[in-house]
Each structure stands twice: as C-alpha cells, then as structure tokens.
Structure 1
Amino acid sequence: MGDFLSFLGNNLADFWQFTGFANATGGHFVMILVGLFFIYLAIAKDFEPMLLIPIGFGMLVGNIPFDLEAGLKIGIYEEGSVFNILYSGVTSGWYPPLIFLGIGAMTDFSALISNPKLMLIGASAQFGIFGAYIIALALGFEPNQAGAIGIIGGADGPTAIFLSSKLAPNLMGAIAVSAYSYMALVPVIQPPIMRLFTTSKERVIRMKPPRVVSHTEKVMFPIIGMLLTCFLVPSGLPLLGMLFFGNLLKESGVTRRLANTASGPLIDTITILLGLTVGASTQASEFLKLDSILIFMLGALSFIIATSSGVLFVKFFNLFLGKDNKINPLIGNAGVSAVPDSARISQVIGLEYDPTNYLLMHAMGPNVAGVIGSAVAAGILLGFLM
C-alpha cells in the first residue's frame, strides 16, 4: 500500500510539473491580460475585430506556460510544432503578399485615378516611417531594426510583417502587434490630431465631385502602376506585384471568380492564420523586453507623425491651388494605409462640422495611395538596408 501511495504521489508530482500552473510566470499573466484587452476592444468597442480577435486569442494561446525541456513540440518557437509550421508564413514572409492580393482585389482605385494629385497626400504620410527610422537610430537601434520599426507609421500590418521578417526577425512579434494595434486605434488617435492642425474654415471646404473613371482607365491603372513602382523599387515586388495583380483581377471584368476568391475566402483564411500566429509569437519570455516597450512608443510616434504629415501637407498644398480646387485637410489623415478606417474618420469628422459635406470618396484617394506608398517605402528600406 505504501509503495502504491508513493508511486501515485510521484505521478501526481510529475503531472504537476507539466501543468501551466507550475510553469507560469508573472509575464505570462501580463500577456494574457493584454490578449484579453485586445479581445475586449474588438467585441465591446468594435476596433478592428477581424484583426484583434485572432491576435488577442493568439496571445492567450502563445502564453499558456509549459515545460520547455519536455520536448512536447507545442510552442510556436519549437521547430516541427504545428504552430511553428503555421508561423513560417510570417517568418518567411509569404502571408503578407497574399494579404495584398486580397486587398488589391477588393480596392477601388477610382478616387485616386480621377484625382491623381491625391497620390501626393499618400506619399507625404510616409514621412512618419522615415521620421521614426531616424529617431530609432538615435535611440541606438541597428539600422535594419530601425527600418523595421519605422514602417509601423504606415499603419499597414502586412507590410510591417513583411519588412521585419527580412530586416529584424527577432523584433517581428513586437513590430507586428504594434502595427496592428495602431491600425485598430485609428478612431482614437487620428481625430485629435486632425482637429489640432485644422481651422473651422478648413474643415468645411467642399471638394469637387470626382469625375467618372472609364473601364479602360481602371484596367490600365494596375498594369502601369505595377511597372512604374516596381521599376522604381524592385525590392517591393512581392507586395506591389500582388496588390496590382489582385486589382487587375477585379477590374478586368473577366476574372470575377478569381477576384472573389482573393478578396473573400483567401484573404479571410490568411488573416486568421496571420493574426493567430502573430499573437502567439508574443510569448512572455520573447516579448516582455525593453525593446518591445520602445517599439510600441516609437510606433505611436511614427503613426502620429504620419497623420500630422498628411494633414499639414494638404494645408501647404492648398497654398498653390485655386479657390475652387482646394482640398479639405481633413482627408490628410487618410494618407496612412489603414484602409478604409482612416478614410471613414475623415468622413465622420467632416460631417461633425458640415452634415452635408461627404468626404469619404475623396478620402479614399489618399487612403489607397497610402497602401501603395507604404509598400514603396518598405521596398526603399529593404533596398538599402539588406
């Protein structure tokens, strides 16, 4: 009887050593609380639920403690585990181009085609990327790390993942979570900046209705756009090529099934896998470091600079435009590539000051230009930092 009780006691002791309770640290509980907060924001506040729920639940999954020496092969960083295999789409950088394929297939570039000067707003918002890059260098980050951190200012999660997987794989978890966090917080961060840098007179500027864009223009745009941008920055080909290819599928009129697949089941599947594995990569032992805190701070600064740059550029550009061709500065925030949330914010803030002034279609121009601009910026950084 004594031997049996001793045997049972040893088994229970061994079992306890394998439980999450025995292997938990304070860091695990901190990250679980962060994951729960993300899920709360998604459900209660409707902040980017398609992103924050997979990422938030991934944080819960990634911070279930276990004995690393047991060789169970269940963790995301253990080679051969299921999560590690799924995570290879992030580390190898093949999830982001597939996301861009879907974005291209669901994006209407008509607002940009009808008013090409709006491209300049999307370009100006990329100052946030290079501003944060310079600040990160000043804080002691390596050039490749600084470049990967700076891309957060584009508010473009797939681009941030693609670039960080090439330049700073060790920081990818913090960069990806930061980028998606600020994408979700667009409705919180951007409005105060827009109000700060605009006057009551500027907020009610009425813009001319966009002209009707022909089918030929819509078909030619992705072809010409791909050739011009990729000849300029060949290193951006995986993102830009897939973006414009997806748009051609949409606009050609003869590949509707392919466009529907790319913009529906494909992008949804990749979003689930990308969000879950990015969230799971935030294991406390890998994530809770001083660098992660600095990355979140720099990401916020980068996003603020990007938004401010877009709004201020419109104010500057208006100095050279005739009275009837002025641009409402409230669409300057849409130069970041958080599509379509930042364009919706332009609309919401505009309606606050003039309930009959609809800015959404105008804001979509710089918004889709921001998608192109952030991918071009990533290509530039990749070109001279690799």
Structure 2
Amino acid sequence: MIDYIEPIFEGLKSLFYDPKIIIMWIVSAILFYFGIVKKKEPLLLIPISSGILFANLPMGELIRIGGNGEPDGFIKIFQDIGLSTDILPLLVFLGMGALTDFEPVLANPKTLLLGAAAQVGVFAALLGALLLGMTPWFNFGLLEASSIGIIGGADGPTTIFISTRMREIGQSIPNLNVMDIVGATAVAAYSYMALVPIIQPPIIRLFTTKHERRIRMDYASKKISKRTKIIFPIATLIIVSVLVPAASPLISVMMFGNLLRESGVVDRLAKTAQNDLMNIVIILLGLSVGATMPANVFLKLETISIFILGLFSFIFATISGILLAKFMNLFLSKPINPMIGAAGVSAVPMAARVVQNEAIKEDPSNFLLMHAMGPNVAGVIGTATVAGVLLAIVPNLVR
C-alpha cells in the first residue's frame, strides 16, 4: 500500500534530498520583489523570476528531457526552439528596432562615440574573466570570458545571443570543455538593466562636478528629414555587415524593425513588432532564460563570479562613457553634459532616464533626455557590433 502512495510525496522528499532549490526560491522571490514591489523593469524581471521558480520546482517537471513515452517539459521546448536557435533574442531586436527612434543620433552624430566608449567595459570584464580563469578555482576560458564581458553592455538579447553561440562553438570543438553560462549571464545582464536607476546615479555624481551636471545642451533647429531616417537603417545594416559580418544577424533584424517604423507605409507591421510580437517574445524569452538556472547549475562559485564581473563591466562602461564626454569637451566650442556619456550602455531607455533624473536634480529646467537617447541607442549598435567582433575572432583563437 505504501508503495502506491509514496509517489504522491516525491516532491516533498526532493526538498530533503536537494535543499538548494529553496535557495533558488529565495532568489526568485528577490527578483519578484524588485519587479512587482519596486517596479524595476517588471516586464523583464517577472517572466525571468517565474522561469527561475519553474526550473526549481520539485522533480523539474517543466524543464525535463523527454523519454520513455514522456514529452519534454514545455519550458524545455521553448528553450530548444527559441534559445538554441537564437530566434527569441533576434525577435527582441526586431521589436527594439521598431521601438527605437534614431533621430537623436542623426541630430548629434558625435554621440555615437559615447556609445562606443561604453564598450570598453566589455573588454575590461573579458580580461577579468580570463585572469580568474588562470586561477585553480575558476574554469573560464576565452569562450566564457567573451560571454561574461558582453554583460557590460547591459543588453540582455545580445548577451543571450553571444552566450548561446559561444556555448555551441565550444561544444562543436573536440576535447574542449565549455561551461553553460547562458542563464547566469542573461539574468546578470537583465538584472543590471533593471538596476540601472540604483547603480548609475552614484557613479555619475562621483565622476562629474556640480557645474558639469548643470551644463545645458541646445537642440538642433533643423529637423531630420524622413528620407534620412529611411536611409539610416539601410546604410547602417550594409556598413556593419560589410565590416563585421558576424554582427549582421543582430543588426539586420534591428534595422529591419526600424525601417518598418520609419517607412510610414506599414504601420500595421510596425505596431505588431512594437507591441504584440514584442510582448509574446518577452514572455517566452524571460521564462526560457530564467529556467536555465536550476539550483545545480546556478549555485556555483563561477556563477557568483559572473555576477561580480558583470557588475564590474557595467560600472566600467558607465565610467568610460562619462570620461570620454569630459575629454571631448576639451575640443568642443559648445560643451556636452558629461552625464550623457553614462547613457552609452545599451539599457534603453533606462540609462537615458537616469541621466534626465540626475539633470533635473541640479536644474529642474534642464531637459537632457533626448540628448541622452543619442548615446543610448548608439550603445545598442555598439554592443551588437562588439558581439560580432568577438564571434569573428574568438572561435579562431580557441580552435
């Protein structure tokens, strides 16, 4: 009789055999708190938190690998179809392109440099991961270091894209052990995107003076023509794809989305990409990413170090953008507010909002939001381009 009843209590028994899942419930609860109570990027954190919880339910039914007549868990199906094939991250880029207005960049092209400066954080964290990999406690190689470094761009879809690619490259090379850090890097990237309003303000205040934070910037009197807005995504796609072919998947779908927006003749497609498609993809992506973090994968020293290196990368990217803006002011007749350099990370539009909030604290009438959007959207292009550079170079170095 007991043998028949025992399967009912399998879930309860698993809590005693693997108490680590309770720790992951706490991690999920913390992210739920930030998303629901603090309202920090709830569209991202609530699906990811749910995915973490799903992956750490007793017996792992939602992420199981099918067999003996049993199908795969439904989250496992999303992961196989959406993450392993890069479809979900690419569809997010399509939606981002449809949502993004590149007019601030076109009106003030020098802000592209600020978006490029923020990529310094990517390479700083990459080097940091390689140095840790030289110690006996960590197993980071060049593939893992590249995935960790890209966290500094604060661009979740790009982080997922390059992490999955690096994992697949490693698995295709005989006798090369590669860590599966897709979940850890993705959650780190999205967490820092959500925590931009907490992380960036102290850094901005530390590296700028009160006078610099009060600098006003004029807006261009000449409006950008519709023709220019249409040509920009096409030209950007061609130029980046020619110079960095490995970046073309990310850049092409993003610029296609932007072309839908700017052409003005396919509003139905543009609105679908901006809303319905984007919302569905965010749900599937968040659940799939969160579910890559079962306790036996997440609760490792390497995972903790990934979060620390990712934070270091993000901070370094913010500082680099600010310092470049200050350096540019040495040569500009009309100085730019150094705070907009902090918006060079890819967290759109969170970083630009932070800059605006810091500006109005010093001068309530100083409107910097659209100026900050310039480096902010430039950072998206910059991070995607750097990802392409890494994908082009790193595989040849590890083979």
For the superposition of Structure 1 and Structure 2, which TM-score range results when normalised by the shorter chain?
Answer: over 0.9
Amino acid paired to 2:181:
L
SS in 1 for 2:110: helix
Higher Rg of the two aligned structures: 1
Equivalent pair of 2:204/2:322 in contact (CA under 8 Å): yes
Compute the displacement of 1:76 (Å).
Answer: 2.0
Distance 1:209 1:283, change over 3 A: same
Compute the displacement of 1:27 (Å).
Answer: 1.3
Equivalent pair of 2:75/2:287 in contact (CA under 8 Å): no
Compute the displacement of 1:26 (Å).
Answer: 2.4
Match of residue 78, structure 2, among 61, 78, 86? 86
Compute the displacement of 1:254 (Å).
Answer: 0.6
Compute the displacement of 1:273 (Å).
Answer: 0.3
Matches within 5 A, 1:38-117: 38-66=31-59, 74-76=61-63, 78-79=65-66, 80-88=72-80, 89-117=82-110
Q: Distance in 2 between matches of 1:57 and 1:30?
A: 15
Match of residue 368, structure 1, among 369, 373, 377? 377
Q: Distance in 2 between matches of 1:300 and 1:127?
A: 14
Compute the displacement of 1:22 (Å).
Answer: 4.9
Give ranges in structure 1 of 5+ residues lacking alignment: 1-6, 69-73
Q: Distance in 2 between matches of 1:300 and 1:168?
A: 22
Match of residue 330, structure 1, among 303, 327, 339? 339
Equivalent pair of 2:89/2:160 in contact (CA under 8 Å): yes
1:181 maps to which residue?
191
Give ranges in structure 2 of 5+ residues lacking alignment: 67-71, 134-139, 169-179
Equivalent pair of 2:352/2:376 in contact (CA under 8 Å): yes
Distance 1:254 1:316, change over 3 A: same
CA deviation string 1:152-188 (max 9, x = no partner): 0000000000000011361101111111000000000
SS in 2 for 1:201: helix
Q: Note if 1:256 corresponds to 2:267.
A: yes
2:171 maps to which residue?
none
SS in 2 for 1:371: helix
Q: Distance in 2 between matches of 1:246 and 1:14?
A: 50
Matches within 5 A, 1:142-181: 142-168=141-167, 170-181=180-191
Q: Distance in 1 between matches of 2:325 and 2:394?
A: 31
Match of residue 276, structure 2, among 249, 256, 265? 265
SS in 2 for 1:116: coil
2:249 maps to which residue?
238
Amino acid paired to 1:159:
T
Distance 1:344 1:24, change over 3 A: farther
Q: Distance in 1 between matches of 2:12 and 2:96?
A: 42
SS in 2 for 1:139: helix
Distance 1:198 1:18, change over 3 A: closer
Q: Note if 1:276 corresponds to 2:291.
A: no
Match of residue 213, structure 2, among 203, 211, 214? 203
2:172 maps to which residue?
none
Please, what is the CA RMSD of the aligned residues?
A: 1.3
Q: TM-score, normalised by structure 2?
A: 0.91
Q: Distance in 2 between matches of 1:307 and 1:27?
A: 35
Q: Distance in 1 between matches of 2:358 and 2:19?
A: 42
Q: Note if 1:29 corresponds to 2:19.
A: no
SS in 1 for 2:181: helix
Q: Distance in 2 between matches of 1:97 and 1:37?
A: 28
Q: Distance in 2 between matches of 1:32 and 1:24?
A: 16
Q: Distance in 2 between matches of 1:60 and 1:337?
A: 27
CA deviation string 1:240-296 (max 9, x = no partner): 000000000000011111111111110110000000111111100111111101100
Matches within 5 A, 1:288-299: 288-299=299-310
Amino acid paired to 2:332:
L
CA deviation string 1:347-380 (max 9, x = no partner): 0000000111100010000000001000001001
Q: Distance in 2 between matches of 1:10 and 1:65?
A: 19
Match of residue 224, structure 1, among 193, 216, 235? 235
Q: Distance in 1 between matches of 2:15 and 2:54?
A: 17
Compute the displacement of 1:90 (Å).
Answer: 1.3
Identity of aligned residues (%): 49
CA deviation string 1:303-348 (max 9, x = no partner): 00000001111001111111xx211011111000000000000000
Q: Distance in 2 between matches of 1:298 and 1:190?
A: 16
Q: Note if 1:377 corresponds to 2:369.
A: no
Q: Distance in 1 between matches of 2:385 and 2:185?
A: 18
Distance 1:36 1:20, change over 3 A: farther
1:3 maps to which residue?
none
Amino acid paired to 1:61:
F
Q: Distance in 2 between matches of 1:283 and 1:52?
A: 17
2:173 maps to which residue?
none
Amino acid paired to 1:327:
I
Amino acid paired to 2:369:
L
SS in 2 for 1:53: helix
1:313 maps to which residue?
324
Compute the displacement of 1:20 (Å).
Answer: 6.2
Distance 1:216 1:177, change over 3 A: same
Aligned pair count reads 371
Q: Distance in 1 between matches of 2:13 and 2:277?
A: 35
Amino acid paired to 2:104:
A
Amino acid paired to 1:359:
L
Q: Distance in 2 between matches of 1:289 and 1:302?
A: 20
Compute the displacement of 1:24 (Å).
Answer: 5.4
Amino acid paired to 1:78:
I
